[in-house]
Amino acid sequence: MRVLTARWTPVVMGLLAVMLLVILPIELRIGLAESPVVAPSRVVSLLIIGSCLLLVWSGVGLRRLEAARVLAQRQTPSA
């Protein structure tokens, strides 16, 4: 009986931990959602959208620069 308990103890503890990780944020969200939520102003929304676009386009630009660098290395014969 002790061997069976020793095998199942970590499994039960893991299941409890997973259940707590799933249930706890929902309970916190329900508690916090009771207060009224104010929508951000248009300026804030535009700033967030602009910063996201800047982040995406800078990533695209870096990829283009890296692709050009790799292409230039392939075209020049190495000695």
d(CA 64, CA 58): 10
Q: What is the DSSP letter of 37?
A: -
Q: Are residues 32 and 43 in the same domain?
A: no
Q: Does 32 lie in the same domain as 44?
A: no
pLDDT in tens, 8-30: 788 888 888 888 887 776 665 66
25 with 44, same domain: the answer is no
Which domain, by its residues, includes 23? 1-37
Q: What would you report as the CA-atom Rg of the chain, rounded to the nearest whole angstrom?
A: 27
Residues 53 and 33 in one domain: no
Q: Are residues 42 and 78 in the same domain?
A: yes
The model carries a pTM of 0.42
b/e string for 50-67 if b means 16 or more Cβ within 10 A? Answer: eeeeeeeeeeeeeeeeee
pLDDT band of 6, cuts 50, 70, 90: low
| 45 and 31 belong to one structural domain | no
- Cα separation, 44 vs 14, whole angstroms: 42
Query: For the chain, what is the domain count?
Result: 2
